[in-house]
Amino acid sequence: MWKIQDEITIVLCGAAGQGIQTVEDGLVAVSKKSGYHVFSSREYMSRVRGGVNSTSIRIASKPVRAFVDRVDILMPLTEQAIQHVKDRLTSKSVLIGEETYLNSSECGDCPKIEISYQDIAKEIGNVQYSNIVSLGVMSGIIDADEDAMHACIANLFPKKGEQIIQDNVRAADEGFKVAKSWIEEDKLPGVEIAKDPTIKDNLVLDGTDATALGALAGGCNFETFYPMSPSTGIATYLAQKALDFSLIVDQSEDEISAMNKSIGASFAGARAMVTTSGGGFSLMNEGLSLCGATELPLVIVVGQRPGPATGMPTRTEQGELEHVLYAGSGEFPRVIFAPGTIEDEFYLTQNAFNIAEKYQVPVFLLPDQYIIDASYDIPSLALDDLKVEKHFIKTSEGYIRYEFTETGISPRGIPGHGEGLTIADGHTHSEDGHITEDPIIRSKMVEKYCKKLDQLKKDVIPPELSGNPDYKTLVIGWGSTYYPILEALERIGKNDVAFLHFKQVYPVHESAIEYLQKADRRIIIENNSNAQFGNLLQLETGIKMDARILKYSGYCFSVEEITEKLAVILEE
C-alpha cells in the first residue's frame, strides 16, 4: 500500500442533522493539538435536515489555507455521499464506511474498507456514539496524540456529565484501535506527516468568529441583523458575548428595520454594525442613502452568496461588489473591504470602525460563504497596536453639524454631549442641518462629499504583490481567492508570473495602475460571471484584462482548478 506524505485530505459527507460538524470540530481540534496544521471548509444544502453536505479537512506538516479537490479518505455517511463527491475521487481515494454506503457504482476503482460504526457504538452502550467512533478512526489514521484526542472529546461535551464523556472516549478509542489495525494489515496507506509541537497552542479560527472578534476589537457596541446566511453566525457569536462587552445585539423584524436601527444608534454615538447578505442588503438601500446624507459612520457586513433573489442561500460567490458599490440613491462616498484571509476578517473589521468614524461614511466588508465558513490554525492575533479611534467632539453653543471644511469632513457631535444642537436630515440640507433647495448650497454639499472621497484615498490599503517583481504576466484577484491563487501559482512555478491581491476594492489604490501597466498580460480570477472587479479596475485605470478565469456555480475555486486553467492560459 502506498504512503500518504506531508498532508492528507479527509472528506466527511452526509446529511444535515447527522452531526458532521461535531466530528469536523473534533478532528480539527485533535489534529492541531497533535502538532498538525489544519484547514477545513464546508459546503452544505439550505435545509435543516437531510440533503447531502460535505466537509473537507486538510491536515499537513506545513500551513495549508485553501480548498483542494483531492480526496485521500472519504467517509460517506449516507447512501448519496459517494455520488455527491464522485468528481473528486481518484483510484487512490480510500472509502471507509458502512457496507450499505459503499455499494455505489460511482466508487470505481477506489479501495473500500467496511466498518460498522453503529455496531461498535452499540457495544459501548449507545448508537449515538457512532460519530465519535468515526472521529477515533480518523484520529488513528493520522496517528494523532491519544491524550489530545481524549481532551478534545471532553471539550466537545462539557455539560454532558463525566459518564457520557468517558463513554465517548471509549468509543473514540475503539475507532482508533481499528484504524491502527488496518494500517498494520496494509489495508490502509500509512500517513507520514511531520508533527510540530510548537503549533499545539495555535488558534483555530473561522471567518465567522474572526469577523465577530474584529468587531469587538473595533469597539462595536451595537449590532443589528435579520438572519440571512452566511452572516447570521457573526451576529449570534456577538450575542453570546454581549454581556461581557456591554454590547447590544438586536435581531430585527426585517432588514429595513435592522439598517435604520443601526443608523439611529450611530447618530446617538454608538459604534454600530449591521450584518446581512445580498438579498437582505437590497432592502437596506434606502437606509444606506440616509446614512450617506446624514454622514454617519456605519459598518455593513454583506456576506456574499449566489443571487439573484434567494439564489443559493448556503453557497458562495463574489457577486455583490457592483451591488454594494452602486447601491443607494445619489452620490456619496463609501469604503469596501474584501477579506482574503481569516486574519483579514479580523483586522479589516477592526479597522472598518475607525475608518467609518474618521470619515463619517459607510464601510462595507465583503466576505463570502467560503471564507466565512472556512477555518485554519494561526499562531495568534496581534492586539497590542490595535486602537479604537474616536472622532467626535463635545459641542458648544452655535455648533454647526455639516460645516463646510477644506477636507469635507465636519466635526461630528453627538446629541447630549455638549451644549450644541445636533441635527440630522435625509433631505439636502444646509450646514446647520436644515432642509434646503438652494442650488448653491446643494452644489457645495455635493462637493463636500467629493472632497471626503479624496481624503479617503489617503487611507486606502495597497494591493499585495506576490512573486517576481519583474513579472511579465500579472494574475489579479480579490477577497477569498487569495490562498487558492497563491497555492496554484506555487504549483505552476513560473518565474515570470506574479500575483496582485486586493483586500480593499474601493477606493482602488493609486498603485494599481502602475502594477497593471507593467504587465505584458493581465489575468483576472473571480467567483462571478462577468469579472466585476476586473470591470472596476478598467473603469478606474483604463486598462482591460487580457484573460478571465470565472466561476459562478455556487462552489468555490479549488487549487487544482485554478492551476489547470491558469496553466492553459500561460501556455498560449
Stretch(es) of the chain classified as CATH 3.40.50.970: 205-378
User: What is the arrangement of strands in the sheet containing 464-467, beginning at the earlier edge strand?
Assistant: 464-467, 497-502, 473-478, 521-526, 547-550
DSSP 313-369: TTS-----HHHHHH-SSS----EEE---SHHHHHHHHHHHHHHHHHHTSEEEE--BH
pLDDT in tens, 163-217: 889 999 999 999 999 999 999 998 888 889 999 999 999 999 999 999 999 999 9
Per-residue pLDDT band at 50 (split at 50, 70, 90): confident
% residues pLDDT > 90 (the chain): 89
Stretch(es) of the chain classified as CATH 3.40.50.920: 464-570
pLDDT in tens, 85-144: 999 999 999 999 999 899 776 777 889 999 999 999 999 888 888 999 999 999 999 999
Burial of 347 (0-12, 13-18, 19+ CB in 10 A): buried
**Rounded average pLDDT over 244-267:** 97
**Taken in order 467, 468, 470, 474, is the CA torsion positive or negative?**
negative
Cα distance between residue 252 and residue 203, in whole Å: 32
Please tell me the predicted confidence (pLDDT) of residue 162. Answer: 86
For residues 371 and 318, the answer to whether their CB atoms sit within 8 Å is: no
Per-residue pLDDT band at 49 (split at 50, 70, 90): confident
Measured at the CA of 349, the angle between CA 348 and CA 350, to 5 degrees, comes to: 90
Please tell me the predicted confidence (pLDDT) of residue 288. Answer: 98
Rounded to 5 degrees, φ, ψ at 139 are: -65, -40
Instruction: Answer whether residue 16 shows pLDDT above 90.
Output: no
Per-residue pLDDT band at 567 (split at 50, 70, 90): very high
343's grid cell: 486574519
Considering all CA atoms of the chain, what is the largest pairwise distance in Å, rounded to the nearest integer? Answer: 87
Distance between first and last Cα of the chain? 39
Cα distance between residue 72 and residue 92, in whole Å: 7
What CATH class has 205-378? alpha beta
146-156 and 20-33 helices, crossing angle to 10°: 140
pLDDT in tens, 378-418: 999 999 999 999 999 999 999 999 999 999 999 999 999 99
Cell 478598467, residue located:
538
- Look over the chain and give the mean of its residue pLDDT values, rounded to a whole number: 95
Cell 487544482, residue located:
560
Please tell me the predicted confidence (pLDDT) of residue 572. Answer: 85
Please tell me the predicted confidence (pLDDT) of residue 417. Answer: 97
Stretch(es) of the chain classified as CATH 3.40.920.10: 3-201
Per-residue pLDDT band at 479 (split at 50, 70, 90): very high
Domain 3-201: give its CATH code. 3.40.920.10
Classify residue 171 by its DSSP letter: H
Please tell me the predicted confidence (pLDDT) of residue 332. Answer: 96
CATH architecture for the domain at 464-570: 3-Layer(aba) Sandwich (3.40)
**Rounded average pLDDT over 207-228:** 98
pLDDT in tens, 485-516: 999 999 999 999 999 999 999 999 999 999 99
Cα distance between residue 189 and residue 52, in whole Å: 27
Burial of 184 (0-12, 13-18, 19+ CB in 10 A): exposed
Instruction: Answer whether residue 148 shows pLDDT above 80.
Output: yes
**Rounded average pLDDT over 437-455:** 95
Per-residue pLDDT band at 4 (split at 50, 70, 90): confident
Residue 544 amino acid letter: K
